[in-house]
Homo-oligomer: A and B are copies of this chain.
Amino acid sequence: MSKINMGNFFEDFHMGQKIIHPLPRTISEGDVSLYIAFTGSRFALHSSDVVAKQMGYDKRPIDDILMFHLTFGKSVQDISLNAIANLGYAEISFPNPVYIGDTVSMTSTVIGLKENSNGKSGVVYVHSIGINQDGAEVLNFKRWVMVHKKDKTTNSGIKKIPEFKESTPICEEINIPTIKAVDTDASGGKFFFEDYEKGERLNHPEGITIDNSDHTLATKLYQNNAKVHFNDHMMKSTPMGQRLMYGGIIISMARTISFNGLQNAQWVYAINSGAHANPTYAGDTIYAYTEVLDVIDHQREDIGLLRLRTIAVKNQKSSEITSPKDEDGKYLKNIVLDLDYTVVIPKKKTEK
């Protein structure tokens, strides 16, 4: 038996299978600093213990998207190392905060399998749960990937496709401390829950260029070992001709760029769906704009939610994009992310 782990192929998965992903990760101050260096993120809650305490925390929590990358990265070896394509994800939620010193780990359950009619590949659907060292859930999501088959001459015909909710449900309890005060001098933004309207559009002015070291250092930090991101020698013989950027890099950049206009929306509550419409490579400059899809009140007096759609664009100002899709419903070639997600934002009464 070979000691080399070549990842799983379509035949290696079965319905209900539980996969414990290796490599629990202790999140450190170094990870937090590196995330700021990679993105330039300016959300005050994640940069400052003083701000976090003023708001009602004991100390600054980890940025949700950083935690996502560090936890998600563990599943690549088992789920998507042999992926032809990451097809989608759904119902991503962030049930509990994570702090410096916490150790996150992840398990997945196979919830769907569909063999493609050509017999060469199939789609695997998994439900993945990340927990901290005390067993509390910190990440919960479903995703589906198309993976190669080992034996391309047979076809099981399996077709078990799970149903997904159109958006991540919003719970009555939200595990965020009661927000005592939001100092707008510290957060850099004067707008609260009540200030946003459904249909509103925010053209974030910043554009940030990503280089090869930026995205490969980040993806290595996340211990995401998908070859397409690191191996230029291999990629040179593919149609892409170079290393492909990890899609999560673009999610991080879009979120970072969205700061200007959403400074007080410092928590990602859920990601409802996302499409990496086109690939990104070193040298691309990322811009973004955000549409407010919905304004969602909550029983809590201190916070509400905004359902947002952030569109990331490469090498073109976001203000120049009217719609990310053309008349035939196809993404324009410069669109690199279409992210539907929900953030928490304090209400005006918390303003200080």
Contacts and interface: CB of A to CB of B under 8 A. Distances in A.
A5 B188 contact: yes
Contacts of A186: 22-24, 105
Interface string A160-171: 000000000000
A217 B51 contact: no
Contacts of A263: 22
A82 B133 CA distance: 46
Contacts of A214: 213, 216-217
B50 A133 contact: yes
A60 B103 CA distance: 12
Contacts of A133: 49-50
A316 B237 CA distance: 12
Interface residues of A, number: 79
A178 interface: no
A220 B210 CA distance: 12
Given A24-B47, A37-B221, A227 B207 contact: yes
A285 B217 contact: no
Interface string A28-62: 11111110111111101001111100000000100
A129 B24 CA distance: 33
A233 B30 CA distance: 30
A226 to B, nearest CB: 10
Contacts of A233: 207, 209, 285, 287, 315-316
Contact of A209 (B28, B33, B243): B243
A293 interface: no
A218 interface: yes
Contact of A23 (B23, B42, B191): B42
B22 A221 contact: no
A185 B33 contact: no
Interface in A176-208: 185-189, 191, 195, 202-208
Contacts of A5: 188-189, 260-261
The 4 lowest CB-CB distance pairs between A and B, nearest first, are: A30-B33, A22-B188, A233-B285, A40-B220
B44 A6 contact: no
A248 to B, nearest CB: 14
B191 A285 contact: no
Interface in A200-254: 202-209, 211-214, 216-221, 223, 225, 227, 230-234, 243
A227 to B, nearest CB: 7
Interface in A235-286: 243, 260-263, 283, 285
